[in-house]
Amino acid sequence: MHIQTAAVHTLRGFEHGAVVPPVHLASTFELDPATDSGGYAYQRGANPTRAQLETVLAALDGAEHGFAFASGMAATAATLSTLVVGDEVLLPASVYGGTYRLVDLVLPGRGVTGRFVDDLGTLTDEDFGPSTRAVFVETPANPTLRITDLRRIVELAHRHGALVIVDNTFMSPVLQRPLELGVDVVVQSATKYLAGHSDLLAGAITTNDDALAEAFALAQKAQGGVLAPQDSFRLIQSIKTLPLRLERQQTNAEAIVAHLRDRADVAQVWYPGSHSEEEARIHASQAAGMGAVLSFELAGGLDRVAFLQALRYPAYAVSLGGVETLICRPATMTHEAMTDRARVAAGITPEMLRLSVGIEDLQDLLDDLDQALAAAR
């Protein structure tokens, strides 16, 4: 089943033949007094509406198991909660600021070490020690759009008994399916492309590993960071248009990249594959497109604040993946939790701007960028 069909029809006839699945709001469910058992007991442990969403999440990723959380960071925290005292996780230096904060400030108190690597593409056997239990990958990276060879990382990590966890937020299952490349766990901020309208917070985990699935189910029940029924239902509905939205967003983003690269008043444009021909080749081998996020830096002498103030359509706000175009400054917004030194290591410059492209009319977006660049001069 093609992903667009799966997005629409996975739950068809799921309950009573309903075309649109019902919302189950109950926080508690009646049990059989003779056995103290039932299909559901308490919403934190499981809920029919959340179960419907988790069925969809698994179907999109081609996974055996799917889990819905209250936010992308709740999902990321659940994946890393499988690590124990003495374990080490390797991450890219340019990892999302929220993940950096978790690894830098929270995990050490649990006896888990995070080691940030400038370029995961340079990892070798020597980088794995006896305590290395996981490699956490973003590809494309946020916000530098650097690419990591997932097949190579899987082979390397598995040789040392380490898990590979991939944050697939930027690509979504429409453009990249890491589990098919041997990755152990996929995590996403479902707030972004899956929800697509900047109006709900959610996170998702998918895996084919039964033991890991038990650990994630325990994390839901024990830590409680689960997605509410109303938001689960809304996410199910939003996912139905995910492939269509992303197709338009990517078309717009490709045209904007080409437009900005031709302008003398734009110093640098970053997008998947822009770092090198090798990264472009790798990305083409494991993803079905560039996605709809790019980063760029204005040429010297242009006024960044004037540029941002002049924009009519892109909102100056964090997040990405919504139908509306958003622009942010990673150094002070999405990655403000990093130290200056960490941002330099990650390749995040003070003037870098990240653009999440929406579904607006392309010419309107191009004209708006042009007039804002003129204002910046």
Mode of pairing for the β-strands spanning 132-138 and 163-167: parallel
Q: Residues 25, 118: one domain?
A: yes
Catalytic residue among 44, 101, 152, 263: 44
Per-residue pLDDT at 16 = 67
Per-residue pLDDT at 22 = 85
Q: Residues 291, 219: one domain?
A: no
> What range does the domain containing 52 cover?
3-239
Q: Residues 172, 69: one domain?
A: yes
169 by DSSP, 3-state: which?
coil
96 is catalytic: yes
Per-residue pLDDT at 227 = 97
- H/E stretch holding 256 reads helix 242-261
Catalytic residue among 96, 100, 193, 271: 96
Contact 284, 171 (CB under 8 A): no
Q: The pTM is what?
A: 0.95
Q: Residues 24, 124: one domain?
A: yes
Query: Which of 179, 210, 239 is at the close of a domain?
Result: 239
Q: Residues 223, 248: one domain?
A: no
Query: Which of 221, 239, 257 is at the close of a domain?
Result: 239
Q: Residues 225, 184: one domain?
A: yes
Rounded-to-10 torsion of CA 107, 50, 60, 19: -170
Per-residue pLDDT at 13 = 62
Residue of 317, 282, 349, 348 whose CA lies nearest to 142: 348
Q: Residues 116, 259: one domain?
A: no
Q: Residues 249, 305: one domain?
A: yes
| Residues sharing a CB contact under 8 Å with residue 262, sequence separation 6 or more, in sequence order | none
* CATH code, domain with 18: 3.40.640.10
Query: Which of 208, 239, 270 is at the close of a domain?
Result: 239
Per the omega criterion (within 30 degrees of 0), is the bond before 314 cis?
no
Q: Residues 88, 163: one domain?
A: yes
Catalytic residue among 167, 177, 193, 329: 167
- H/E stretch holding 332 reads none
44 is catalytic: yes
Per-residue pLDDT at 329 = 97
Residue 221 burial (CB count, 10 A): 13
Give the Cα separation of 47 and 56 in Å (integer). 14
Residue 89 burial (CB count, 10 A): 23
377 is catalytic: no
110 is catalytic: no
Average pLDDT along the chain, 377 residues, taken 10 residues at a time = 85 72 90 89 92 96 98 98 98 93 96 95 96 98 96 98 98 98 98 97 98 97 96 97 98 98 97 97 98 98 97 97 97 90 90 98 98 97
- Give the count of domains, the chain: 2
* CATH code, domain with 332: 3.90.1150.10
Q: Residues 286, 370: one domain?
A: yes
Q: What region does 141 belong to: left with phi over 0, alpha with psi -120 to 50, or beta?
A: beta
Q: Residues 207, 288: one domain?
A: no
Q: Residues 39, 140: one domain?
A: yes
Q: What is the DSSP letter of 102?
A: I
Catalytic residue among 146, 192, 245, 354: 192
